[in-house]
Amino acid sequence: MNLEPLRGLTFGANVSGLTMHEINTGDWSRIEAGLADFGLLRLRGQQFDARSVAAFARRFGELEGDIGEARGISNKGEDAAPLDMGDPAWLTRAYPTRYWHADGTFNRVAPRVCVLAGAAIPVAGACTEFADMCAAWDMLDHAQQRELEPLTCFHSNLVGSTRVLPAAHALVLESQLHPAPVDGSYGLGYRTEVPLRSLVRRHPGNGRKVLAIGRHAFGVVGLDPEASDQLLRGLEARACQPPRVFRQEWRVGDVVVFDNRRVLHRAEACAETGDERLLLNCRVKGDPVHDAGLDTPEAQASAACQHAELQRLRRAKRLGQAKGLGRAGDAAV
């Protein structure tokens, strides 16, 4: 087995000379050490199905919602037709995942490791990009680091989706939700309470500091909404630049394992060729100590903060729609 760092990047390595179903104890120790060091590992030319991907991922730890096999992430619905822009799956997953994010940071405990495996790949538009948030922290000067280190912010999937969706589609999403929370939920799996997280965290595995940002982050405590947005979106734009970004051009048989504590990712929009893009996905449960949201007085205000931010964003979306910025492909309002 060989580990070869990805050239010209701050993170990532190719793994060769290994079959994912036949990894001995010694090689597995090297895999785990490599993931801790590099943050992302890619294996090419593998043979797998949904059950064997789950079996591989399970070696990293207990899986979230383990159903015995990996879940599929596809650009098509259950009827094999491309997802419609009004479909809840397009509104909540297909479009929003085109923006930088870490998986599940809007849950009480975020996953620590994620596995993606290329099962069906279209001719064009099938890339996933990954960005190194340890190196992003390192790029900041000491004054910027001191300013950011004490800050906290909330993480919400609903806020993140509402912000990035084009105006008309954000309002379609709003129409599919409860106008007020019902039993702790807005509907479509969006919860009323969301976690508060440190903007800067120390990685429990490698000891390095990490910028905990991305699409889900909003509401920096102590800042007004506009200043919070400016800070978070500005950090994201600076952080997700070469040499901190790896572009994975998928082939059938590729398996990518990444450290969800360290790495952001985003999907490229699939070309409208009718070809299916199917990635098999597993998430390894996080540590309730290291990966849970904060338990502070500010965290208790999460429902009110999320509601206020949703109202602010929706007002902006309605204004954008009135100005004709309501089509998919327009800049997010």
Cα 246 to Cα 17, 189, 240, 319: the distances in Å are: 22, 31, 10, 36
Confidence at 208, pLDDT banded by 50, 70, 90:
very high
Q: Beta strands 196-198 and 152-155: pairing type?
A: antiparallel
pLDDT per residue as tens digits for the range 52-105: 999 999 999 999 999 999 999 998 887 778 888 888 889 999 999 999 999 999
Q: In angstroms, rounded to a whole number, what is the distance separating the alpha carbons of residues 148 and 279? A: 35
Q: Give the end-to-end CA distance of the chain in Å, rounded to a whole number.
A: 48
For the chain, list the domains and their CATH numbers: 2-322 (3.60.130.10)
Q: Beta strands 127-132 and 113-120: pairing type?
A: unpaired
Residues 277, 161, 86, CA angle at the centre, nearest 5°?
A: 60
Output the 3-class SS for 301-316.
Answer: HHHHHHHHHHHHHHHH
Q: Can you tell me the mean pLDDT for 213-219? A: 99
Q: In angstroms, rounded to a whole number, what is the distance separating the alpha carbons of residues 288 and 167? A: 37
Q: Beta strands 152-155 and 185-187: pairing type?
A: unpaired
| DSSP per-residue letters across 37-87 | HHSEEEE-S----HHHHHHHHHTTSPBTT--SSPEEEESB-TTSSBPPTTS
pLDDT per residue as tens digits for the range 110-166: 999 999 999 999 887 789 999 999 999 999 999 999 999 999 999 999 999 999 999
Q: Can you tell me the mean pLDDT for 177-196? A: 94
Residue with tokens 């895999």: 31
Q: Can you tell me the mean pLDDT for 289-306? A: 97
Q: In angstroms, rounded to a whole number, what is the distance separating the alpha carbons of residues 281 and 277? A: 13
Q: In angstroms, rounded to a whole number, what is the distance separating the alpha carbons of residues 155 and 107? A: 8
pLDDT per residue as tens digits for the range 247-279: 999 999 999 999 999 999 999 987 666 788 999
254 in helix, strand or coil? coil
Buried b (16+ CB within 10 A) or exposed e, 168-194: bbbbbbbeebeeebeeeebebebbbbb
